[in-house]
Amino acid sequence: MPIFIQKTLYSLSLLLGVTFISFMLMVYFGPDRSYAIAGKNPDAAQLEEIRQQLGYNQPLTSRYLGYIKDLASFNLGLSESSGKPVARLLAETIPTSLLLLLPGFLIGNLLALMLAMIAAWYKHSWPDRLLTNLSLLGVSISFLIIIIVLSTWLCTPQGLNLFPSRGWRVDGLSSWLTYATVPSLALIFVTVFFNLRFYRALLLDEMEQDYIRTARAYGAGPFAIMFSEALPNTLIPILTRLLFSLPAILVSGSLVLESYFGIPGIGKVSFDAIFNADQPVLNAIVSLSAVMIVVVTWLADFIYPRLDPRISQHLVVR
Amino acid sequence: MSSSLNQTKPADPIFFPQLGVLVFFGLIVVLIIMAVYPLPDWQVISPDRFAGISQEHPLGTNALGQDIAARAAQASWHSLRIGFIVTICAGFLGMLLGLVSGWYAGRWPDATILWLTGVMEAIPFYLFVAAVAYAFRQLSWSMELAMVVTFWTTMTRLVRAEVIRLKQRDFILAARAIGLSPAKTLTSHILPNALPVILVQFSMIFIAAIKAEVILSFLGLGNSSTISWGLMISESTQEVIAGHYLNFFSASILLFMLIYSVSLITDSLQTRTDPRQGVA
Amino acid sequence: MNPLVSIRDLSVSYPGRGTASALKHINLDIHHGETVGLVGESGCGKTTLALALMGMLPPGCAWQGEISIAGQQVDFYQQAGRASARDQCAMIFQNPQTSLNPVIAIGRQIIRIIRRRGGLEKQPTQQRLAEVLSLVELPAECSKLYPHELSGGMQQRVLLAMALARQANILIADEPTTALDASTRMQILALLNRLQQQQNLAVLLISHDLSAIARVCRQVLILYQGRVVEQAPQELIFRQPRHPYSAGLLAAIPKIHRRRPDKLLSLPGDASLEAVTSGCAFAPRCSRRDVYCEQQLPPLNCALDLQQRFACFNPRPIQGGLK
* pLDDT per position as a tens digit, C221-248: 998 888 888 888 888 888 888 888 888 8
Question: In terms of residue numbers, what domain contains A309?
Answer: 93-317
* Closest residue in chain C to residue B9, using alpha carbons only: C60
Q: Does A225 touch chain C (CB under 8 A)?
A: yes
Nearest CA to CA, how far is C112 from chain A (Å)? Answer: 9
Which pLDDT belongs to residue A19? Answer: 86
Residue to substitute from A124, A206, A214, A303, interface C, most C β-carbons within 10 A = A214
Q: What string of DSSP letters covers A272-314?
A: HHHHHT-HHHHHHHHHHHHHHHHHHHHHHHHHHHHH-TTSPTT
Interface of C with A (CB under 8 A): 54, 56, 59, 78, 80-83, 87, 89-91, 93, 95, 98-104, 112-113, 116-117, 146, 148-149, 159, 162, 166
Which of A38, A72, A106 is the C-terminal boundary of a domain?
Answer: A72
* Closest to B111 (Cα-Cα) out of B160, B62, B178: B160
The beta-carbon neighbor of B1 closest among C60, C61, C75 is C75
* Closest residue in chain C to residue A213, using alpha carbons only: C99
Within 8 A of A290 by CB-CB distance, chain B residues are 122-123
B119/A286 CB distance under 8 A? no
Which pLDDT belongs to residue C22? Answer: 81
The model's pLDDT over A293-305, given as tens digits with 9 standing for 90+, comes to 888 888 888 888 8
pLDDT cut 70: percent of chain A above it: 94
Within 8 A of C63 by CB-CB distance, chain B residues are 5-6
A218/C166 CB distance under 8 A? yes
When pLDDT is cut at 50, 70 and 90, the band that residue B274 belongs to is low
Residue A108 has pLDDT above 90, yes or no: yes
Q: Which residue has the higher pLDDT, A34 or A291?
A: A291
The CA-atom distances, in angstroms, between C1 and each of A307, B86, C5, C217 are 51, 76, 12, 20
Nearest CA to CA, how far is C165 from chain A (Å)? Answer: 10
Nearest CA to CA, how far is A295 from chain C (Å)? Answer: 25
Q: Where in chain C is the domain with CATH 3.40.50.300?
A: 5-217
Which pLDDT belongs to residue B14? Answer: 67
- Determine, yes or no, domain membership for A77: no
B15/A124 CB distance under 8 A? no
The model's pLDDT over C234-290, given as tens digits with 9 standing for 90+, comes to 888 888 888 888 888 888 776 655 555 455 556 666 555 445 567 788 888 888 888
Which pLDDT belongs to residue A234? Answer: 94
Residue to substitute from A218, A231, A308, interface C, most C β-carbons within 10 A = A218
What is the complex's ipTM, to 2 decimals?
0.86
Within 8 A of A216 by CB-CB distance, chain C residues are 54, 56, 78, 80
Q: Does B269 touch chain A (CB under 8 A)?
A: no
Least confident of A223-232, C13-22, C74-83, C109-118: C13-22
pLDDT cut 70: percent of chain C above it: 86
Nearest CA to CA, how far is B11 from chain C (Å)? Answer: 10
* Closest residue in chain A to residue C53, using alpha carbons only: A217
C66/B3 CB distance under 8 A? yes
Which pLDDT belongs to residue B109? Answer: 92
Residues B57-65: what's their mean pLDDT? 79
* Closest residue in chain C to residue B7, using alpha carbons only: C62
Nearest CA to CA, how far is C19 from chain B (Å)? Answer: 14
Q: Is C244 exposed, middle or buried (0-12, 13-18, 19+ CB in 10 A)?
A: buried
Q: Does A129 touch chain C (CB under 8 A)?
A: no
* B neighbour chains, 3+ CB pairs within 8 Å: A, C
Residue B1 has pLDDT above 50, yes or no: no
Residue A158 and residue A42 share a domain: no
Q: Which residue has the higher pLDDT, B277 or B152?
A: B152
C103/A124 CB distance under 8 A? no
* Closest to A191 (Cα-Cα) out of A134, A252, A107, A127: A107
C60/B1 CB distance under 8 A? no
- Considering only residues 81 to 140 of chain B, which have any Cβ-Cβ distance to chain C shorter than 8 Å? none
Nearest CA to CA, how far is B12 from chain C (Å)? Answer: 14
Which of A72, A104, A126 is the C-terminal boundary of a domain?
Answer: A72
Which pLDDT belongs to residue A239? Answer: 92
pLDDT cut 70: percent of chain B above it: 91
Residues B56-64: what's their mean pLDDT? 79
Mean of per-residue pLDDT scores for chain A:
86
Residue B279 has pLDDT above 50, yes or no: no
When pLDDT is cut at 50, 70 and 90, the band that residue C323 belongs to is very low
- 3.30.460.10, 3.20.20.60, 3.90.79.10, 3.40.50.300: which CATH number matches C5-217? 3.40.50.300
Residues A139-145: what's their mean pLDDT? 92
The model's pLDDT over B114-154, given as tens digits with 9 standing for 90+, comes to 999 989 988 888 888 877 877 777 777 888 898 999 999 99
Nearest CA to CA, how far is B14 from chain C (Å)? Answer: 18
B10/A124 CB distance under 8 A? yes
Using DSSP, state whether C91 is helix, strand or coil: strand
* Closest to A116 (Cα-Cα) out of A229, A190, A209, A194: A194
Using DSSP, state whether C181 is helix, strand or coil: coil
Residue A289 and residue A243 share a domain: yes
pLDDT cut 90: percent of chain A above it: 38
For residue A103, the domain's CATH number is 1.10.3720.10
Q: How far is residue B114's CA from residue B165's CA, in Å, rounded to a whole number?
A: 17
A218/C81 CB distance under 8 A? no
* Closest to C81 (Cα-Cα) out of A225, A125, A115: A225
Q: Is B190 exposed, middle or buried (0-12, 13-18, 19+ CB in 10 A)?
A: buried
In chain A, how many domains are there? Answer: 2
* A neighbour chains, 3+ CB pairs within 8 Å: B, C
Nearest CA to CA, how far is B222 from chain C (Å)? Answer: 48
Q: Does B1 touch chain C (CB under 8 A)?
A: yes
When pLDDT is cut at 50, 70 and 90, the band that residue A13 belongs to is confident
* Closest residue in chain B to residue C77, using alpha carbons only: B1
Residue to substitute from C48, C61, C103, interface A, most A β-carbons within 10 A = C103
* C neighbour chains, 3+ CB pairs within 8 Å: A, B
Which pLDDT belongs to residue A312? Answer: 66
Residue A64 has pLDDT above 90, yes or no: no
A133/B13 CB distance under 8 A? yes
Nearest CA to CA, how far is C301 from chain A (Å)? Answer: 34
C93/A210 CB distance under 8 A? yes
Residue B210 has pLDDT above 90, yes or no: yes
- The residues, any chain, with a CB within 8 Å of residue C158's CB and separated by 6 or more, are C96, C100, C106, C109, C110, C136, C138, C142, C147, C150
- Considering only residues 137 to 196 of chain B, which have any Cβ-Cβ distance to chain A shorter than 8 Å? none
Q: Does A307 touch chain C (CB under 8 A)?
A: yes
Residue A23 and residue A146 share a domain: no
When pLDDT is cut at 50, 70 and 90, the band that residue B239 belongs to is confident
When pLDDT is cut at 50, 70 and 90, the band that residue A22 belongs to is confident
Nearest CA to CA, how far is B280 from chain C (Å)? Answer: 9
Residue A287 and residue A182 share a domain: yes
User: Structural domain boundaries of chain B?
Assistant: 16-32+69-274
A219/C101 CB distance under 8 A? no
Which pLDDT belongs to residue C157? Answer: 94
pLDDT cut 90: percent of chain C above it: 25
Residue A261 and residue A137 share a domain: yes
Residue A205 and residue A234 share a domain: yes
The model's pLDDT over B7-22, given as tens digits with 9 standing for 90+, comes to 334 445 666 767 778 8
Residues C149-174: what's their mean pLDDT? 92
Least confident of A196-200, A230-234, B228-232, C225-229: C225-229
**Which residues make beta-bridge pairs with C11?**
C64
CATH 3.40.630.30 for the B16-32+69-274 domain, yes or no: no
* Closest residue in chain B to residue A14, using alpha carbons only: B119
